[in-house]
Structure 1
Amino acid sequence: MKIDKVKKNAQGDITDVMINNNVYSIDEAIMMARDGKIEGVNVAKARSGKEYLRSNPDNIEANNLDNLPTF
């Protein structure tokens, strides 16, 4: 499974993701990524300790989560 689209809040933070026309909260997506169910992403931890999704580095900016289409 791959993330197709993202939903962002007013601050630009990703709050939900769309995979195969199904919507998942960012927390659900983090758990799925941790279980290896989502391709192309990994779980990182911010300085604040909060976990977030990151695109795996591949030098292609178009597939970075922030650059995906929104819904």
Structure 2
Amino acid sequence: MSFHTAETSHQLITWQRSQERLLRAELVVALGVGIAVVRSAVGLQPLADATSDDLIGPLRDVVDGLLGQR
């Protein structure tokens, strides 16, 4: 039978949260790569013709959703 001290439990929770945060950051990177591919290679509309002003709001929402305060 195994048991954790409060400090060990805290360290485990901190590690799990950092892993989740890293995963979320990697998803943001994948989103950026995906947008670049779709805009240049696929030409999917309306994304291909969207300006930076068109993209800033939706991208901010996605990034805030993934990396915002938790």
TM-score relative to the length of structure 1: 0.24
| Larger-gyration structure (1/2) | 2
- Scaled by the length of structure 2, the TM-score of the pair is 0.24
More helix by share: 2
Structure with greater strand share of residues: 1
Q: Indicate the structure whose relative CO is greater, using CA pairs within 8 Å and at least 6 residues apart.
A: 2
